[in-house]
Amino acid sequence: MAIATNNKQADQRTIEQRVEYLLGQMTLAEKVGQMNQVESGGDHAIDHLRHAIQAGHIGSVLNQVDVEIVNELQRVAIDESRLGIPLLVGRDVIHGFKTVMPIPLGQAASWDPDLVRDCARVAAREAARTGVNWTFAPMIDITRDPRWGRIAESLGEDAYLASELGSAMVEGFQGDDLGSIGSIVACAKHFVGYGEVESGRDYATTNIPENELRNVHLRPFKAAIDAGVHTLMTSFSDLDGVPATGNGFLLRQVLREEWGFDGFVVSDWDSVRQLAIHGLTENDAASALAAVTAGVDMEMAGGAYIHHLPRLVQEGLVDEAMIDEMVANILRVKIRLGLFENPYTNPSELPAVGNEHALDTAMQAALRSVVLLKNDHHALPLSAERLTSVAVIGPMADAPYEQLGTWVFDGDTQLSVTPLQAIRDIIGSNVDIRYVRAMETSRSRRNDAFDAAAEIAGDSDVAILFLGEESILSGEAHSRADINLPGDQAELVRRVRAAGKPVVAVIMAGRPLTLSNIIDQVDAILFAWHPGTMGGPAIADLLFGIESPSAKLPVTFPRMVGQIPIYYSQKNTGKPPSPDTIIHIDDIDPKASQTSHGLTAFHLDAGYTPLFAFGHGLSYARFEYRHLSTSAAEIRHGDTLQVSAELTNTGKVPADEVAQLYVRDLVGNVTRPVKELKGYKRLRLDPGQTVVVEFELHTDDLAFYDRHMQLVTEPGEFHVWIGGSSETELRTAFCIVDSD
């Protein structure tokens, strides 16, 4: 019988005692085996992996979702290997499993940690039915570049919002008790800086000064660790010349020494061997040495560790004590997960996939993720009672797979309800619904169906255009240099607009798009991201006013690609632009002098403002903020300030509003952003209702890393805003004074 099995029953020892005992029984080859993760091999996994598992040469498999195969792999590990150590079974469970939630960027638009937590919990339980016990999520890379395909997996541009929502996602995956049935291990990725790849090209170089790294990009990872995340994944990209998978500053100094992380770090797919492709190392053996020395505990695919670490230890290039520490990190997580006590999966102990709760969660997530970007002349909501006919047009109206978005290996399209189907369900018995797909795909350049689309638009009371990107156009390795609507969609909009009827655009996409070429051609825009399984009913409810939109943008929408990066928390610069210092390129006098344009930071052909700002999102209600105040004009270090404002629903329908708190530190040891999100609250108000929105600001909430990389809160003057977006103008001020 295996050693681990002998000692798992009613084990009262501490986790560290159990780890120490197991390490004491292990050979070097078995230790390195725990550091080795391999692709499962699909249906042939058992035959393919049996010998290596028996020999103790595999610690984790990935991409196996057949529960019978997973259980047999676990049985081989437990009953046929010398030590009986169970396997971690990894899978990308990014935004759902069979029931698919909105893409993470869409979930971020909800600004609702409780909902994000629920989405992750549903995903964990569905994945756990298959034997998966480890997911490679959340992705908490901060990015300000919508060209990057993986922005779809992110939680947006802001470190505070990503920290809040990323922590909620960790809690959803891992549950209250990691060892309970239905909990799976979360993995915060990609550590760190991946979202800053040059020009949004996946896998490209990142150059981030340490001050920016600490003040922005590291913050969500620290929050995830504080929330209890047990694993981290390294970034594919290099950071200031040192690839993250070989970066000891990140993995040893920051993660272990400064933060005290005691889980384990896994490489991204084959990124250990890719150190040589980067040019950091000369071969696989050198890559294994660099990665293990830097602090990568487990290698995902590639085989550099299993093939080279034993020899590197024998040659004295790697101290076996270092290997022991890394294997201890892995064993610690397996014990916390309860794998030794409960290695096998019984699907009947977990809820069925696509159950009522799962679908309801997907519905709520979709409802709260759709952003109303524009609504001229109250074009929305539509009134079914006043309509006789509706034109439904576009390639995304009835595309059950495309609405699921990127990274949905296991998503069940049979569960998808499309907008066309949902519109028919709501109004089909009373209103004539005319549908023309118009384009085969979102990328199509054929416009032979545009005449038919324009004809039904002209014959209908309103045209609803379903536009956007197919799911394959975003995600890993799917970066775009041009982020306009792809294909001939802009021409489709123009042709439908020419029919002379109101036009509503519903856009499904995995990233912010540049919409300047259609913005004046439509009366309203609902930006639905890729909304998941229940995207159709959610969109239909919003179109017809059953629910009011309440989502807010977690990322800035540029007017054109040339503005990128554009984000709300930029620095002021020494020459900040203002409305009276800019001029448009078309208005320049041909004889103008070189100093006639304000000498400030803006683009002649785009100005300095985005198309839609971070935090923007309209409602069918109207919300007014008034009477902003602070509990004191001055506070001392260690004190807490109350900041409040009155919020009134002056509209005619009940609706949710996300009130947002922003702060600016006017003078700092290093320059500070013009605004930083420091709090938010989702509130539901009836028509005419007024509430006081109150936030607490502790002086620690205003801390930042200074030029010496010390976390400090400095005395001085601060501006503070409360409003419905980052563009709110309701502002007051307070000061922090020295305690002495």
Domain ranges for the chain: 29-346, 356-543, 567-609, 623-737
**β-sheet bridge partners, residue 694:** 644
Contact yes or no for 340/87 (Cβ under 8 A): no
Superfamily for 29-346?
A: Glycoside hydrolase, family 3, N-terminal domain (3.20.20.300)
Please give the order of strands across the beta sheet that includes 299-300. Answer: 134-135, 88-91, 60-62, 36-39, 299-300
Residue 353: its pLDDT value, please? 97
Residue 8: its pLDDT value, please? 45
190, containing H or E segment = strand 187-191
Q: Do you know the residue count of the chain?
A: 740
Q: What are phi and psi of 400, to 5 degrees?
A: -60, -30
Residue 348 has pLDDT above 70, yes or no: yes
630-645 burial code (b ≥16 CB/10 A, e <16):
beeeebebeeebebbb
Rounded distance, CA 437 to CA 447, Å?
11
Cα 281 to the chain's mean position, in Å? 32
Model confidence band, residue 738 (pLDDT cutoffs 50, 70, 90): confident
394-451: pLDDT as tens digits: 999 999 999 999 999 999 999 999 999 999 999 988 899 999 999 999 999 999 999 9
Contact yes or no for 476/407 (Cβ under 8 A): yes
Residue 9: its pLDDT value, please? 47
Neighbouring C-beta atoms of residue 588, cutoff 10 Å: 12
Model confidence band, residue 589 (pLDDT cutoffs 50, 70, 90): confident
- Write the CB contacts of 672 (distance below 8 Å, at least 6 apart in sequence): 571, 664, 665, 666, 704
Q: Cα dihedral angle (583, 589, 595, 600), rounded to 10 degrees?
A: 10
Contact yes or no for 135/63 (Cβ under 8 A): no
pTM surpassing 0.85?
yes
Structure tokens at 66: 């057949």
Mean per-residue pLDDT, 529-547: 98
CA distances to 110, 152, 201, 384, 717 from 114, rounded to whole Å, are 10, 20, 33, 33, 34
Classify residue 599 by burial, with Cβ atoms within 10 Å: 0-12, 13-18, 19+. exposed
404-418: pLDDT as tens digits: 999 999 999 999 999
Residue 509 has pLDDT above 80, yes or no: yes
Per DSSP, the residues of 249-262 read IIIIIIIIIIT---
Q: Across the chain, what does the average pLDDT equal?
A: 96
CA distances to 73, 138, 461, 719 from 336, rounded to whole Å, are 20, 19, 60, 45
Q: What are phi and psi of 261, to 5 degrees?
A: -65, 130
Neighbouring C-beta atoms of residue 51, cutoff 10 Å: 12
Residue 12 has pLDDT above 70, yes or no: no
The SS3 assignment for 511 reads coil
Instruction: Report angle CA 371, 375, 378 to the nearest 5 degrees.
Output: 130
Q: Which residue numbers are catalytic?
A: 268
- Write the CB contacts of 114 (distance below 8 Å, at least 6 apart in sequence): 168
Q: Is 153 left (phi over 0), alpha (psi -120 to 50) or beta?
A: alpha
Rounded to a whole number, what is the distance in angstroms from the first to the last CA of the chain?
67
Residue 37: its pLDDT value, please? 98
324, containing H or E segment = helix 320-336
209-265: pLDDT as tens digits: 999 999 999 999 999 999 999 999 999 999 999 999 999 999 999 999 999 999 999
Contact yes or no for 488/449 (Cβ under 8 A): no
Rounded distance, CA 205 to CA 532, Å?
32
For domain 623-737, the CATH architecture is Sandwich (2.60)
14-59: pLDDT as tens digits: 999 999 999 999 999 999 999 999 999 888 999 999 999 999 999 9
Instruction: Report angle CA 94, 70, 86 to the nearest 5 degrees.
Output: 95
Residue 385 has pLDDT above 90, yes or no: yes
Residue 596: its pLDDT value, please? 66
Residue 213: its pLDDT value, please? 98
Mean per-residue pLDDT, 304-323: 98
For domain 356-543, the CATH architecture is 3-Layer(aba) Sandwich (3.40)
Mean per-residue pLDDT, 139-144: 98
Residue 341 has pLDDT above 90, yes or no: yes
Give, as one character, the DSSP assignment of residue 608.
S
104-138: pLDDT as tens digits: 999 999 999 999 999 999 999 999 999 999 999 99
